[in-house]
Amino acid sequence: MGKASDDSSTNTQQAAAATAFSGQIDTSDLISEDIFKLVGLESMNEAEKQRLYGQFEETIRNRVIARLFDKLTDEQAEEFAKFAQSKDSAGMTNFLQSINIDLQLMMAQEAIIYKSELLLLCKPFKAMQPAQA
C-alpha cells in the first residue's frame, strides 16, 4: 500500500474517531449497541446480518494485523510469524505481552473505530428513512 493510501486510511480513521468522540455520537451507544440498530437496519434478516458480521470481523482482524505489524521490528515480526504458523496461541499471547502489546485492547480499539466509520457512512441513509412511530 502506498504512502498516500496509508495517509488517506489514517485520516479517515482519525476523522471517524474524532466525530465519534466529539459528542455527535453517543459513545456508550457506539460501544454497546448493535451496529444494525445504530444505523436503523435492525429489521434486516438474520442471514444477511450474519454475513455482514463476518465481513466486519474480517475487516477488523485485517486492520489489527496491519497495526500489529507496524509496531513490530523485523525480528519481532519473524518471531511472531513462527507462533502464528504453528498456531501457538499461548506463544503468540506471551510473546506480545513480553513486548507490551495488548492485542485485546488493539482489537477493541479497531472495532470501535470501524463501527464509528460504518455509522458515519450510513448516517446520510438513516436520515432519508421515514421516522418510526
Largest CA distance in the chain: 59
Grid coordinates representing 114 are 470501524
pLDDT tens sequence across 78-93: 999 999 899 898 999 9
Distance between start and end Cα atoms, the chain: 47
User: How many beta carbons lie within 10 A of that of residue 119, not counting itself?
Assistant: 21
Extents of the domains making up the chain: 3-128
Q: What is the pTM of this model?
A: 0.69
The span from the CA of 35 to the CA of 111, in Å, is 11
DSSP state of 25: S
pLDDT of residue 42: 84
pLDDT tens sequence across 19-46: 444 445 566 666 767 888 877 788 889 9
pLDDT tens sequence across 92-112: 999 999 999 998 999 999 999
The span from the CA of 93 to the CA of 108, in Å, is 16
- Sign of the C-alpha dihedral computed for residues 26, 64, 51 and 5 taken in this order: positive
% residues pLDDT > 70 (the chain) = 69
pLDDT of residue 132: 55
